[in-house]
């Protein structure tokens, strides 16, 4: 499975499915990471975690552990 965690900084991808469960999953989807949306990985924090993404025209930060649950299309 290709996940958002593996997408390199500066690359884009398309979301196939959001895995995980409960509030975490709901939160990620509420913030606009839903099936079919395009995500651009802007940067990684200086300490290596979390990530900064561009999605639906705004900037969102999520941890790598959360990015791991987002299945994306191969580049």
Helices (H), 1-75: 22-30, 64-67
Which residue number, 1 or 46, has a Cβ lying nearer to another protein? 46
Give how far Cα 74 sits from Cα of 7, 12, 57, 70, 71, Å: 9, 10, 22, 12, 9
Binding mask 36-65 for another protein (x = CB under 8 A): -x-----xxxxxxxx-x---xxxxxxxx--
Q: Could you tell me the two tokens for 4?
A: 């958002």
Would you count residue 35 as binding another protein (CB under 8 A)? yes
Which residue number, 21 or 74, has a Cβ lying nearer to another protein? 21
Would you count residue 25 as binding another protein (CB under 8 A)? yes
Q: Rounded to the nearest 10 degrees, how much is the dihedral formed by the CA atoms of 32, 16, 2, 28? A: 20
User: Which residue ranges make up the site for another protein (CB under 8 A)?
Assistant: 17-18, 22-32, 34-35, 37, 43-50, 52, 56-63, 66
């Amino acid at each position: 499975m290709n996940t958002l965690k593996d997408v390199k900084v500066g690359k884009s991808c398309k979301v196939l499915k959001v895995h995980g469960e409960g509030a975490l999953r709901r939160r990620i989807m509420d913030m606009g990471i839903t099936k079919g949306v395009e995500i651009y990985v802007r940067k990684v924090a200086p300490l290596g975690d979390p990530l900064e993404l561009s999605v639906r025209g705004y900037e969102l930060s999520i941890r790598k552990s959360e990015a791991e649950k987002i299945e994306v299309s191969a580049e």
